[in-house]
Amino acid sequence: MIISVALILLCGYLMSALCKKIRLPGLVGMIITGILLGPHCLSLLNGEIYTLSPFLDKWHLL
């Protein structure tokens, strides 16, 4: 699961930097990363990472 989190962070950062170079907002790169790594496209993430989703959704409210 740690590898999946590292993959999300690394790919998100790299895609953000790439999008900034072509004068797009960095958030666009992060959204593209989420789509590509998610279960409906390449499915590169460990299945356990999806169990954290409800926790992370509520965590920002703290």
Quick: pLDDT tens for 41-61: 888 888 788 787 777 677 655
Prediction pTM value: 0.75
Specify the higher pLDDT residue, 32 or 57. 32
The predicted structure's pLDDT at residue 46: 81
Q: Is the dihedral of CA 6, 32, 59, 51 positive or negative?
A: negative
Closest CA to 49 of 7, 9, 5: 5
DSSP per position, 2-34 = HHHHHHHHHHHHHHHHHHHHTT--HHHHHHHHH
Angstrom distance (rounded) from CA 34 to CA 59 = 19
Mean pLDDT on 21-34: 95
